[in-house]
Amino acid sequence: MPVIARVAAAAALLALGGLAGWWIGRSAPSASLDVPAPAPAVATPASLPREAPPLSLPNTRVHPVPNSTTGRRYEVWVDLPPSYFESDKPYPVVFTTDADYGVPVIRSLRRRIGAKGRNLEDFVLVGLSYGVGEQSMPSKRRDYTPTNPFARPGTQASNAYSRNDVYGEAAAYRDYIERDVFPLIAKHYRVDMRRKVYVGHSLGGLFGSYVLLTRPEMFSHYILGSPSLWFDRRVIFDLEAEYAQRHRDLQAKVFLSIGAYETRGPDARHMGADMVGDMTRFEQVLRSRRYPGFRIESEILPDEDHLTVLPRTITHGLLWALPGTGPYSGS
């Protein structure tokens, strides 16, 4: 056989073998490397399904819930624990922003850590979506922020602020959750609406801080991960001072969590702002008010940055807010 023909034949066999290995790897262990096996028949691309069915999460439902005032479209994702179908008791409710990230992570942590209520009390999980059809950052910048930073003289466009986005509609989004989302959950699910836990990270943590200082009774517990308290020249501290002037109590329980790298430093994992310092100051100011009904805990997690910290924050926060019947077991 001519050399060119032998090379072409070898290339064809290698390509066929690679495709076969890919297909086998989807359904069974690959053959031993030191004992060659005959290549099985391989499905041709024409015989493969044109569209694979979408993945669905068991016991998870998606409700279209538009803002009844603005008409803006949102979705509410509801995930039920398996025990929900085995009892008649009402369940606490965990609400998370950034639903596309928060819901898969939190439902997995509930299953993995909960031990059927021994380590972590079962709960109904509610995910709050971005605006339907919108990218995440424009939606978050609009809905999770209390003010428009460009309303202040001297604010420049940067990685933190974009002139192409809308800011400062946290009040409208807060009202949407209370007016449109809460009644739907209370009507259709067996829940205890006196035990509502909020989970938010980054701008979601900023939004939770805003709700805490403007309508604290909306949630019984606030898990605020890496809150972006730097936003708009730390306007959240102005809101805190205004709340303190008008109130003598703050009926809420707050858990603050952040990664040790979320501050300025030389490492690529560090931030351009001292988020650790901001969170520490926020805790100190709230403690200094000595509100009778207020409780707060915090943690700075070593070897975590803004991208890696959230699973640990959620784990620790849920164990704090919804401890199980115990005794806790890590096996």
CB atoms within 10 A of CB 282: 22
Neighbours of 212 (CB within 10 A): 23
What is the per-residue pLDDT across 237-260, written as a single tens digit (0 to 9) for each? 999 999 999 999 999 999 999 999
* Rounded mean pLDDT, 185-213: 98
Work out the pLDDT band at 48, boundaries 50, 70, 90.
low
Q: Which residues of 163-190 are buried (b: 16+ CB within 10 A; e: fewer)?
A: eebebbbbeebbbbbeebbbeebeeebe
State how beta strands 75-79 and 60-64 pair.
Answer: antiparallel
Which segments of 115-202 does DSSP mark as H helices, in order? 136-143, 170-176, 182-188
Q: At residue 14, does pLDDT exceed 90?
A: no
Contact 317, 257 (CB under 8 A): yes
H runs (alpha helix) in the chain: 3-25, 99-114, 136-143, 170-176, 182-188, 203-214, 231-246, 275-288, 310-321
For the stretch 254-284, pLDDT in tens is 999 999 999 999 999 999 999 999 999 999 9
Q: State pTM to two decimals.
A: 0.84
- The residue assigned the tokens 């989004």 is 173
Question: What's the Cα-to-Cα distance from 258 to each of 95, 145, 233, 297, 309, rounded to whole Å?
Answer: 19, 19, 20, 12, 7
- The confidence band for 80, taking pLDDT boundaries of 50, 70 and 90, is very high
**CA of residue 324 relative to chain centroid, distance:** 22
Domains of the chain: 3-47 (no CATH), 60-321 (3.40.50.1820)
Q: Which residue has the tokens 């605006």?
A: 131
Q: Which two tokens stand for residue 165?
A: 């986005």
Q: Is the Cβ–Cβ distance between 30 and 24 less than 8 Å?
A: yes
Give the Cα separation of 25 and 132 in Å (integer). Answer: 36
Amino acid identity, position 163: R
Percent of the chain with pLDDT over 90: 80
Q: Measured between alpha carbons, how far is 15 from 8 in angstroms, rounded to an integer?
A: 11
